[in-house]
Amino acid sequence: MLSKYHWWRDAVIYQVYVRSFLDSTGDGIGDLAGVRAGLPYLKKLGVDGIWLSPFYPSPQHDHGYDVADYCDVDPLFGDLAEFDLLVAAARRLGIKVLLDIVPNHCSSEHPWFEEALAAEPGSAARARFHFADGRGADGSEPPNNWHAMFGGPAWSRVTEADGQPGQWYLHMFTPEQPDWNWRNPEVGAEFDRVLRFWLDRGVDGFRIDVAAGLYKHPELPDSDDPEADARTRDSVNPLAWNQPEVHAVWRGWRSICEEYTARDGRERLLVGEVSVPTAREHALYVRSDELHQAFFFDLLSAPWEADAFRKVISEAMQDIAGTGSTVTWVLNNHDQVRTVTRYGEPATEGSGLGAARARAAALLMLALPGAAYIYQGEELGLPEVVDLPDDVLTDPIFRRTGSRARIRDGCRVPLPWSGQASPFGFTSGVESAKPWLPQPDYFAEYATDRALADTRSFWHLYRDGLQLREALPQLGEGTLRWLESPPGVLAFVRGDGLVCAVNFGTAPTSAPVSGTPLLSSGPCPAGVLPGSTAAWWMSDGTESVAP
């Protein structure tokens, strides 16, 4: 059957941030054996697959997004034998496994970068990266004015073999993450090898880090607006991101995936982290011979307003679904403030408004046509931990900008599994084990054992939503038609009659449809859609479609 073959088109994938999922060794850091132990939990939740954040050997300057060896496992997380056990266990449970691949940059401890540092300016070893002479009489100014995404200039100066300050190298993130030079064919060839290494070990695909990166403008000219580049974490510098040449890389990777599918009939998935200015540009990445999917972050960045959500959903449906791919919806990930906190309003803190909205957003996302990604802890309704003390923060953004404004540690605090006190079952074996980021006491309320026992929990909402997606042909792929609805309410019909409505306001409104209630994100009396609530119905066909 087509939809089973193209399993990814409406898959729900669970993002496992390995270091915070489950720790099997008692060192306070989650690991691959912990992921394996957690698979039955994920099976019960009903997800189709998992995406594992990077577990490769790495000095962990950016928690594994600084890769020193693309074809191994960091001892912190286990070894290749444990990886194989994890893949086999997931396969037995019917859970797909996606790896996180980081092709824009590596670690400054990658052997090729170490070789480049030891080599001469102009050498073949340096040509795998972007090395350039500095500007000014003594070369002490960076080669251009680009900013790094995590603060500071995008260039660092090296010391040459003679002990003198020498060339500069480009790093769009931290200095510990030198950017590869994709204009050098050796780089592409090496990544082809890496893909095959993991495909041969049985993985179902890859989440591609910074997939609008890789190529830079060939002349590395100055940016016209370096201040704008510095202000935002989005990829705004048009000279450093979204270069046309990158599309050839995705065509090549797609053909490698197809080659494996041709051998065994198992379709592999490439899902890109694509941050580009418009849905239209985004759509170029998912043309039929490029990436299968690309995260659509506009939903995640939309404010909690019906019109904003309607706009981004309509654009995605028009531009992305128009390519023949499906939209890949996402509300949370390891780089963003969790929805419960993001949708809360400081003035109403503690009122449960953020949680109610996050529940409604989840039902909305699960009702949209396409694939959805859930970030670990989202199914527990975990809030962002906003009061981590400075001395425990590990996000390089904090160190490099001196600001807490955009830091990402608060969504990465290790998961609570059970019990009343930290480590809440996160670590096994060692009672005194300390999770790598401190868990607040209130995490007890969110522990998985409590969530599973309480049918009103976030967990049950996600589980019920996933079960309905599995059971009802109207969900998953297919059409979406907007329904007429009062201001502040979004309502749409899927397929031949599944209706989803969301009330973005706080006052109740009448339900925009009559029919059989299927699921709601909060108590929903007959005929009413309370504020900050979403609901699904099987309609009796009386709803009016918007003109």
Task: Give me the active site residues, please.
Answer: 209, 259
Whether residue 214 contacts residue 180, with contact meaning beta carbons closer than 8 Å, is answered with: yes
Helix (H, G, I), strand (E, B) or coil at 129: strand
Distance from the first to the final alpha carbon of the chain: 34
What is the nearest approach in angstroms of ligand GLC to the Cβ of residue 129? 16
Give the residue with the Cβ less far from ligand GLC, 15 or 325.
Answer: 15
What is the nearest approach in angstroms of ligand GLC to the Cβ of residue 271? 12
What is the nearest approach in angstroms of ligand GLC to the Cβ of residue 273? 6
Helix (H, G, I), strand (E, B) or coil at 50: strand
Rg (CA), the chain: 24
| Binding track over 121-160 against ligand GLC, x by CB under 6 A | ----------------------------------------
Whether residue 18 contacts residue 63, with contact meaning beta carbons closer than 8 Å, is answered with: no
Residues 250-279 that bind ligand GLC (CB under 6 A): 273
| Binding track over 431-470 against ligand GLC, x by CB under 6 A | ----------------------------------------
Give the residue with the Cβ less far from ligand GLC, 406 or 450.
Answer: 406
- What are the backbone angles phi and psi of residue 451, rounded to the nearest 5°? -65, -40
What are the DSSP calls for 243-255, one per residue? -TTHHHHHHHHHH
Give the residue with the Cβ less far from ligand GLC, 104 or 533.
Answer: 104
Q: Does 173 bind ligand GLC (CB under 6 A)?
A: yes
Residues 328-347 that bind ligand GLC (CB under 6 A): 334-335
Provide the 8-state DSSP code for 23: B
Q: Does 409 bind ligand GLC (CB under 6 A)?
A: no
What is the nearest approach in angstroms of ligand GLC to the Cβ of residue 378? 16
Q: Applying CB under 6 A, what is the total number of residues that bind ligand GLC? A: 9
Give the residue with the Cβ less far from ligand GLC, 207 or 357.
Answer: 207
Provide the 8-state DSSP code for 317: I
Omega into 303 within 30° of 0, i.e. cis? no
Residues 102-121 that bind ligand GLC (CB under 6 A): 102
What are the DSSP calls for 406-465, one per residue? T--GGG-SPPP-SSSSTTTTSB-S-TT---SSPPPGGGGGG-HHHHHH-TTSHHHHHHHH
Give the residue with the Cβ less far from ligand GLC, 294 or 524.
Answer: 294
Give the residue with the Cβ less far from ligand GLC, 385 or 534.
Answer: 385
Residue nearest to ligand GLC (CB): 65
Distance CA 43, CA 66 (A): 30
Give the residue with the Cβ less far from ligand GLC, 267 or 298.
Answer: 298
Residue 340 zone, left/alpha/beta (φ > 0; ψ -120 to 50; rest): alpha
- 18, 22, 73, 210: which one binds ligand GLC (CB under 6 A): 210
Helix (H, G, I), strand (E, B) or coil at 523: coil
CB atoms within 10 A of CB 163: 7
Q: How far is CA 180 from the centre of its chain?
A: 22
* Paired strand residues for 520: 535
Q: Does 209 bind ligand GLC (CB under 6 A)?
A: yes
Q: Does 180 bind ligand GLC (CB under 6 A)?
A: no
- 8, 65, 182, 191: which one binds ligand GLC (CB under 6 A): 65
Interaction site with ligand GLC (CB under 6 A): 62, 65, 102, 173, 209-210, 273, 334-335
